Structure 1
Amino acid sequence: MPQAVLDSPFGQMIMPALSRQIHANKRGGGILGIEQQTPGSSVKPQSQLHHPLAKVHVVSNLAQLDELLAKFQKSCAVIFFTSATCPPCKTLYPVYDDLAGEVGDKGVLIKVDTSQAFDVGSRFSISATPTFITFLKGQQENRWSGADPSALRGNVQLLVQMAWPPHPHQALNLPTFSNPNAEPVIFTKVPPLSKLLAKMGSTASDPAVQSIKTFIETRSSDGPAEATLPDIAAFTAIIRDSISTLPTDLLFTIVDLLRISLIDPRVSGYLAEEPSHRTVTAILAHVTGLPPKDCPYALRLVTLQMACNLFTSPLYPDQILGHPELRRLVTTLVSTSFLDGGHSSVRVAAASLLFNVALANSRRRRDGPGDVLPEEEQVELAASVLEAITQEEGSAEALEGMLLALGYLAYRMPLEGELADLLRAMEAGGLVLAKGRGLGGCDW
């Protein structure tokens, strides 16, 4: 949790309660009001989920097998023992390949040719093929032989259900959080570009900046199909240079130009694959490294909005959730921006960025194999947004964004984890219900 949060009155208030509750025995009760079945509510029909592409893993020795089993020891695994001289085995290959696609990241399907991997066959005493062995949470769960496609499919599907039982939240009628088509918040407004560039000084005359200006104008007037991508590498180099060459109070201009460019998924997709995310991390590191009183309002606001617009590309959510340095900087930016009591627009943008992060992580919970956002950072973000919710009095838009972001953090979370402990300790359910009564259209 950021020191700024810990040093605040809210931080001082929660520390004793956290010390008592974290790692204490879990107690029952609702968290955010979404654990208790409400009278008259019904199970929400689950939409057909797209199965992520996955493949059967072929292993040829014990070392490879042990590595895979260790990787999936918290979920499930299937080993298909086959051999080159087994015709019945080959009839099951298409079924096994299809099952790998259905299982996706929720488990691993392994194929072992016993005529080559003698050490594997010996360990499991394989005397006939096809033979199947399943593992659940790191322990052998079942074993059978025979070329029965129905038995194979049924056993594998049952294994996955045991490894990933339905979450209690799925039995509640929560259309906001169960909606598979929820979209991230994107800031699409384009300001007068001539005025924006006029504030940059000599930087505005750089060919890379001018090409971005032309790209944005063409895209706005004629549509994305008519807008030829500019030299993004040259533009990002100008951005990194501007961090040290532009005055701090004018740096927002080049960041805002990047924000507008990111509306196009081709630009955000390019940055998603940039080595070490060097442009985005340079901006975030600079902004989060400034003392709050020295960070201009405009710079913090457009940086938050720029980070939101990274989500226009389907490539970027996994990068933000999975890249440690980028994730840390986004978390710090959100947490510190919630403390800006003087600018509701900053708090709205911070809530929007947290919403995008929480939504992306919630989708991974839904599709499996589970959270990508580490639990300690979920706890940090939840503590920050809870403080912001308690203090928010001036902006209904900011409050709604905070409540939605917190809801996505909590929806289908592990009920025996540290995030659940925090929410119980802070009695978040009562706080959310009290604050959310004036808001319509949400699952409060």
Structure 2
Amino acid sequence: MPEPVKLYVYDLSNGMAKQMSLQLTGRQIDGIWHTSIVVFGKEIFYGQGIDITAPGRSHHGNPLHIVDLGTTSIDEETFNEYLDEMREHYTADKYHLLDFNCNSFTNDCAAFLTGGSIPDFIKDLPSDFLSTPFGAALRPTIDAMYRRPGAMSPSQPTPATTTTPNPELAASILQAVAAQAQQGMAPASASTAPLQATESLVAPFHPVTNSASLQSLLRTHKAVVVNFSDLITCPPCRVIAPVYEQLAHEKGVKTNSGVGAAFAKIDLSTPSGKALGAEWSVRVMPTFMFFLDGKKISEMKGADANELRSQIDLLLFQAYPPHPHTSLSLPAMQSLSLNPILFTQVPALDTVTSKLASFIDSANWPPNVTQSQAEVKQVLSSAVLPYLKSRSNTPPASASPLMLTSWAKVTATLAQVLPLESLFPLVDMWRLALLDSNVATWCAGALQSALNTTPLIIFMTKVTSIASAPRAYLLTLLRLLSNAFSSSVLAPQLLLGQTRALMTAVLVPALLHDDAGVRTAAASLVFNAAAFLQKGRVDAVRSGGGSGKKDIEDEDWEVEIASAVVEAIDREKANEDVVHRLAACLGCLLRLSPFYESQMSSLLQVLQAKSILKSKLTPGGCGTNGVSKKEAKKLVEEIGDKLCP
């Protein structure tokens, strides 16, 4: 009779990851996941070796989630024999918080029992974390916690102390999570001695101990490299092992681009390893096999480091062929700064606050509004105004979450009470505040947790018609949204879901506005959005290929924006700066675009983008003599000649 298989999921951070990850890493991480396999009335997990307890009775308490992994037809006796063999592999000294942990064990068990795997959000957490600057900086600290004396020490990023916002806090969180993760059923030791790990586990390897787990790895990764070796009896295996580890660090799957190979080791000294070696006809040690889309495409025998690197590079080239634009010479695009265009001018803050206060005093205050006029003005004058003034100090002051929460509540109240033409001073205050990374990070968190009450959402939803929106409000809103791209944490939030739809509804008609100032601000905003995409693509190519930030790349949206930009360039007859920014935006949308061949190229032909760009260089195309600034002229020519078919 089939036996149900469950996955118990626990959060080792006890909620700290969910609360603090966005601020520390720039990415929302909901938990540091520990998992156990529950089958045959037992909960089995890996920490101080393999432990077994009654379901829900481990030292981790009650699971946060229970995932149904399906059923198994394997009998309990066979599974117990499998666990006995696994105990030789999953020992306490091999534990590593990122590379070889409880989730490695449960994924292996899931493959053996069901032929499947544990959920991706659990498996991908280490690479997710390491793909952030914070995680990369902490990698040496984590490795140091687990490295055995004499183990290979691969080159690493800058130590965490130079990039971590709060290194003491980060260290304490790491120690707490590590202690909780590796604690077994016995009481945890009070020793602070470094945890031990074997040399073979200081790289991002995927554990493979049976045929089912290997097949699961091949199904879930486009490119896979497998090393069959025996470090105990094979000297060439020991020689090539550090090289293989280094290549795994360099060319392993990177979450931010999705590009890279999965690296696995199969230990031929163990019974299960010998069985896998026999299954794949391995007769020489070491043997490396290279898989693409689940199929073996090549094999290498022996310990030739140069040949191994070449084979891995070839595998990655076949899996992720470079974008055709990488072969183009685009000096103007390459020299283009991808830093956002920001609006940093500070107005007379007392005047702005007084103007807003006068609007509040003259407003018809509905009785159902929970905040009084006096309370609103008190927050603005005693908290917001002093904060904005202190931004000119050296170093500038940062906003507190308490103040921002109060200010957001006031903003929601004023958006309900004041007419649109009276809100622009409030929008301008937030424009300045977004240059503070703490404010931008807070807004990013608010967008994720309380979308409709976030100031950015409130301000955008107030605009029901661009044509009828007051110029001052629209201009200030576009500048505020441009400043939002100063933050690498907030910027991606503007390019996702409802927030992107609202921004697009404001942006696209503003590109064609009658007012030159509005068009300039809109051109700045659309450049910032495209430059953020381009930056992700360039970084992905530099790190080994790929098409950039896949979660924010959206074909339909990018086609819509490209169409609007081409039309805006065509209509712009007077302002050379606007043409320059729009052309730069178009170049960023096109260069390295994952959608260039599928839609963008044909779209540009239909829109006659090349001739429109070229027309801007001729007399009357933009001003009396056409675009004349040297850098703008070169950029327009290059995009027209090389990126537009």
* Range into which the TM-score falls when normalised by the shorter chain: 0.7 to 0.9
Identify if the C-alpha distance between structure 1 residues 155 and 259 changes in structure 2 by more than 3 Å, giving closer, same or farther: same
In structure 2, C-alpha distance between the alignment counterparts of 1:123 and 1:324, rounded to whole Å = 50
Q: 2:404 pairs with 232, 250, 254, which one?
A: 232
Q: Give a deviation string over 1:120-156, Cα, whole Å, max 9, x none.
A: 9489726466443333466543222433333222222
Q: 1:153 pairs with 304, 309, 317, which one?
A: 309
Q: 1:143 pairs with 293, 299, 303, which one?
A: 299
Match of 1:179 in 2: 335
Match of 1:383 in 2: 563
Match of 1:125 in 2: 280
Unaligned residue ranges in structure 2 (runs of 5+): 1-130, 140-202, 361-372, 541-545, 618-625, 638-645
5 Å matches for 1:393-412?
393-412=573-592
Would the aligned equivalents of 1:308 and 1:352 in 2 still touch at CA under 8 Å?
A: yes
Q: 1:428 pairs with 592, 609, 622, which one?
A: 609
Q: Give a deviation string over 1:29-51, Cα, whole Å, max 9, x none.
A: xxxxxxxxxxxxxxxxxxxxx99
Q: Give a deviation string over 1:37-78, Cα, whole Å, max 9, x none.
A: xxxxxxxxxxxxx998597252447777667655654xx443
SS in structure 2 of the partner of residue 188 of structure 1: coil
Q: Give a deviation string over 1:190-216, Cα, whole Å, max 9, x none.
A: 111112222322476233664232222
Q: Report which stretch shifted further, 142-151 or 345-354.
A: 142-151
Taking structure 1 as the reference length, the TM-score comes to: 0.75
In structure 2, C-alpha distance between the alignment counterparts of 1:233 and 1:90, rounded to whole Å = 57
Taking structure 2 as the reference length, the TM-score comes to: 0.53
In structure 2, C-alpha distance between the alignment counterparts of 1:150 and 1:141, rounded to whole Å = 19
Q: C-alpha displacement at 1:176, in angstroms?
A: 3.1
Q: 1:363 pairs with 512, 523, 535, which one?
A: 535
Q: 1:99 pairs with 223, 226, 247, which one?
A: 247
Structure whose residues are more often helix by fraction: 1
Q: C-alpha displacement at 1:164, in angstroms?
A: 4.2
Q: Give a deviation string over 1:89-126, Cα, whole Å, max 9, x none.
A: 56555434433443344223232445597799489726
**1:370 corresponds to which letter in structure 2?**
S
Match of 2:350 in 1: 194
Would the aligned equivalents of 2:353 and 2:380 in 1 still touch at CA under 8 Å?
A: no
Match of 1:109 in 2: 262
In structure 2, C-alpha distance between the alignment counterparts of 1:98 and 1:192, rounded to whole Å = 56
1:261 matched to 2:408? The reply is: no
SS in structure 2 of the partner of residue 257 of structure 1: helix
Identify if the C-alpha distance between structure 1 residues 158 and 345 changes in structure 2 by more than 3 Å, giving closer, same or farther: same
Would the aligned equivalents of 1:56 and 1:96 in 2 still touch at CA under 8 Å?
A: no
Q: C-alpha displacement at 1:282, in angstroms?
A: 2.0
Work out the number of aligned pairs and report it: 388
Q: Give a deviation string over 1:355-412, Cα, whole Å, max 9, x none.
A: 1111111122222220432111110101111111121123222222111111111112
In structure 1, C-alpha distance between the alignment counterparts of 2:411 and 2:566, rounded to whole Å = 34
**2:458 corresponds to which letter in structure 1?**
I
Match of 1:56 in 2: 204
Match of 2:471 in 1: 297
Identify if the C-alpha distance between structure 1 residues 227 and 93 changes in structure 2 by more than 3 Å, giving closer, same or farther: farther
Match of 1:25 in 2: none
Match of 1:12 in 2: none
Match of 2:485 in 1: 311
SS in structure 2 of the partner of residue 206 of structure 1: helix
SS in structure 2 of the partner of residue 134 of structure 1: strand
5 Å matches for 1:202-351?
202=373, 205-207=377-379, 210-220=382-392, 222-223=393-394, 225-230=395-400, 231-276=403-448, 278=451, 279=454, 282-283=457-458, 285-288=460-463, 290-321=464-495, 323-340=496-513, 342-351=514-523
Larger Cα-atom Rg: 2
Would the aligned equivalents of 1:287 and 1:295 in 2 still touch at CA under 8 Å?
A: no
Identify if the C-alpha distance between structure 1 residues 51 and 366 changes in structure 2 by more than 3 Å, giving closer, same or farther: farther
Q: C-alpha displacement at 1:273, in angstroms?
A: 3.3
Identify if the C-alpha distance between structure 1 residues 335 and 228 changes in structure 2 by more than 3 Å, giving closer, same or farther: closer
Would the aligned equivalents of 1:72 and 1:107 in 2 still touch at CA under 8 Å?
A: no
Would the aligned equivalents of 1:219 and 1:226 in 2 still touch at CA under 8 Å?
A: yes
Give the percent of matched residue pairs that are identical in Structure 1 and Structure 2. Answer: 27
Match of 1:23 in 2: none
Would the aligned equivalents of 1:390 and 1:431 in 2 still touch at CA under 8 Å?
A: yes
Would the aligned equivalents of 2:388 and 2:432 in 1 still touch at CA under 8 Å?
A: yes
Q: C-alpha displacement at 1:280, in angstroms?
A: 5.1
**1:314 corresponds to which letter in structure 2?**
S
Would the aligned equivalents of 1:262 and 1:306 in 2 still touch at CA under 8 Å?
A: yes
Q: C-alpha displacement at 1:338, in angstroms?
A: 1.7
Q: Give a deviation string over 1:233-260, Cα, whole Å, max 9, x none.
A: 3323333343323322222222211110
1:392 matched to 2:548? The reply is: no
In structure 2, C-alpha distance between the alignment counterparts of 1:101 and 1:280, rounded to whole Å = 41
**2:263 corresponds to which letter in structure 1?**
I
Identify if the C-alpha distance between structure 1 residues 363 and 140 changes in structure 2 by more than 3 Å, giving closer, same or farther: farther
SS in structure 2 of the partner of residue 107 of structure 1: coil
Q: Give a deviation string over 1:245-302, Cα, whole Å, max 9, x none.
A: 33222222222111101112232233233351631552355145x1234422222222
Q: 2:597 pairs with 405, 416, 429, which one?
A: 416
Match of 1:18 in 2: none
Q: 1:78 pairs with 206, 210, 225, which one?
A: 225
SS in structure 1 of the partner of residue 616 of structure 2: helix
Identify if the C-alpha distance between structure 1 residues 157 and 255 changes in structure 2 by more than 3 Å, giving closer, same or farther: same
In structure 2, C-alpha distance between the alignment counterparts of 1:273 and 1:217, rounded to whole Å = 25
In structure 2, C-alpha distance between the alignment counterparts of 1:216 and 1:119, rounded to whole Å = 68
**1:397 corresponds to which letter in structure 2?**
D
Unaligned residue ranges in structure 1 (runs of 5+): 1-49
In structure 2, C-alpha distance between the alignment counterparts of 1:57 and 1:193, rounded to whole Å = 56
5 Å matches for 1:4-83?
56-60=204-208, 72-73=221-222, 76-81=223-228
Q: C-alpha displacement at 1:84, in angstroms?
A: 7.5
Would the aligned equivalents of 1:86 and 1:130 in 2 still touch at CA under 8 Å?
A: no
In structure 2, C-alpha distance between the alignment counterparts of 1:152 and 1:299, rounded to whole Å = 60
Q: Which structure would you say has the larger RCO, counting Cα contacts within 8 Å and 6 or more residues apart? A: 1
